[in-house]
Structure 1
Amino acid sequence: MTVALMWEARAAEGRGDELLDWVRAHPVAGSPLRREILRAPGDRVLVITWWDASYDAELPELPDPDGELVARPVHRWRFESLGAPDA
């Protein structure tokens, strides 16, 4: 089974690039199958990691950045991959 962990944070006003640098400097422990970093308007940063693991497996996640770097608490979600649709 493949499990995707999603980590999303919104930077404090004017600190979007700093949050992006923080994410890049904090790789997830372990060996995910894949790691992708995305950004969106509003200084939001999203990190998705894919793992070969059961849905309820204990997996490493990014920590929370310093409270002054983010505008609100970090959001985290866990999904089970159902595979890519047939083309």
Structure 2
Amino acid sequence: MTVALMWEARAVAGRGEELLAWAGAHELTPAPLRRETFRAPQDRVLVITWWDAPYDEPGLPELPEPGEGLVTRPVHRWRFEQV
């Protein structure tokens, strides 16, 4: 089964590039099957990782919360299974 983990954060105004660099610098161990990073208006960054694991697999690596002062709210996280 393939599971996708989504991580989305909104940077403090004008710090979107910094958040994007922060997200790109964080390696996950073990590495996912696939990883993609996106950006959107309002300095938002989205990272999607794909894993060969059951939907409810505990302990899949995820990006942590960015450092204090970089984001406007807590990170949003979602988990999806491929159908």
Q: Please name the residue that 1:72 is paired with.
A: 73
Alignment partner of 1:20: what SS?
Answer: helix
Q: Distance in 2 between matches of 1:53 and 1:64?
A: 23
TM-score (norm 2): 0.95
Q: Please name the residue that 2:33 is paired with.
A: 33
Q: Radius of gyration: which is bigger?
A: 1
Identity among equivalent positions (%) equals 71
How many residue pairs match? The answer is 82
Structure 2: 5+ residue stretches without partners: none
Structure 1 position 10 matched with structure 2 position 10: yes
Alignment partner of 1:23: what SS?
Answer: helix
Deviations 1:33-86 (A, max 9, x none): 10000000010000000000000102011000012000110000000011xxxx
Q: Please name the residue that 2:45 is paired with.
A: 45
In 2, are the aligned partners of 1:29 and 1:61 still within 8 Å (CA)?
A: no
Q: Distance in 2 between matches of 1:77 and 1:67?
A: 22
TM-score (norm 1): 0.91
Root-mean-square deviation (Å): 0.7
TM-aligned CA deviation for residue 11 of structure 1: 0.2
